Amino acid sequence: MSHLIAPSLLSANFLNLESDIEMINQSEADWFHLDIMDGVFVPNISFGFPVIEKISKKATKPLDVHLMIIDPDRYLKRFQETGAYLISVHYEACPHLHRTVYAIKNSEVKAGVVLNPHTPVHLLSSIIKDLDLVMLMAVNPGYGGQNFIPETYSKIEQLKELILEKGSQALIEIDGGVDLSNSSEIIRCGADVLVAGNTVFSSPDPSGVIHQLKYC
């Protein structure tokens, strides 16, 4: 399988969001990546349900929803109803992770778990077979435009080993600091999905950058 590209709308132009959504619709991107922040789990606030519902109506590609929020169980049904294709929750925010993952999967939405940079991969060993995706944060979550943490490369390799060892079908997604200088190495280490925000939307040719990331 060729790796997937999921541009993050957090870096889009919110004064002209419809135009950026249409650009992604027409590009070689595979998913829309939506970063949902509550100002508690991370020190920032992004967009809520009214904006997500509008995005869902315009997007022609799957919505990859990344919940950077505490107590995500309270909102799973709402996110499912907005048309999420995949919902990822943070390991650090879920005291009953199996329960949360099953609540997502029981609604026929794909389930992912996110690990912050300091959280070791082995903590997912008991649940990895139940996951559709594991997202590794390559920056500390909360803000776009941060620099990629180099230790992420070895973490991708460790996660790939765990997936193969456990017979899991989970994809590996990398979020944070992904750009044209490191994308090839990220894929070489075993990643399946690249999230790119600032790299795409700060470019004068976003579709061209998406193409380069797709075929890096």
Catalytic residues: 35, 175
Dig out the tokens for 98 from the structure. 């199996």
In the chain, which ranges are E strands? 4-7, 32-37, 63-68, 84-90, 110-115, 133-137, 171-175, 193-196
Torsion of CA 158, 163, 85, 33, to 10 degrees: 10
In contact, 175 and 209? CB cutoff 8 Å: no
Half-sphere exposure at residue 56, Cβ-oriented, CA atoms within 13 angstroms = 19
Cβ–Cβ < 8 Å for 27, 211: yes
Cβ 194 vs Cβ 6: under 8 Å: yes
Are 82 and 107 contacting, i.e. CB atoms less than 8 angstroms apart? no
Longest Cα–Cα distance in the chain: 46
Using alpha carbons, list the distances in angstroms from residue 63 to 6, 66, 72. Answer: 9, 10, 17
